[in-house]
A = this chain, B = another copy of it.
Amino acid sequence: MSLTIGELSRQAQVKIPTIRYYEQIGLLAEPARTEGQQRRYGAAEVRQLNFIRHARELGFEVEAIRQLLDLTRAPERSCGEVHEITRTHLEEVKDKIARLTALRDELEAMVACDHRKISECRIIEVLADHGQCQHAQH
């Protein structure tokens, strides 16, 4: 079971330069190499890279992921710390959701604007500072 970087890329859904970048910043260990210096990976790397991608998609910063990866190597005393990292992140996520939900509602109200009645289009007003209409003529 030996994968090239291209195969790893496809399996883990992470672009090749990004894999090399992760290796460079120490998020991914240096893999085995062929005589000709080409990288070869195993199943463990596929799992780890999936872990990283998943965490990135969920908004964890690289530094947080590094901490999580470090902690998983000492699992017997890690749960509390993992818990703490996660809880901090949860607050951020909740905050993001709240702001995006407010945005979505605004955008939906905007999009409800009737194309044929340009004079009533609210997009600019809504994006302008609340309460102050920047384009009264619009």
A contacts, CB < 8 Å to B: 47-48, 50-51, 54-55, 57-59, 68, 72, 75-76, 78-80, 82-83, 86-87, 89-90, 93-94, 96-97, 99-101, 103-104, 106-108, 110-111, 113, 115, 118, 121, 123-124, 127-130, 132, 134-135, 137-138
> Is there an interface contact between B86 and A97, defined as CB atoms closer than 8 Å?
no
Docked Cα-Cα span, A96 to B55, in Å, equals 15
**Assuming A103-B58, A127-B54, is B72 touching A87 (CB within 8 A)?**
no
> Is there an interface contact between B99 and A97, defined as CB atoms closer than 8 Å?
no
**Assuming A82-B123, A121-B82, A123-B83, is B51 touching A134 (CB within 8 A)?**
yes
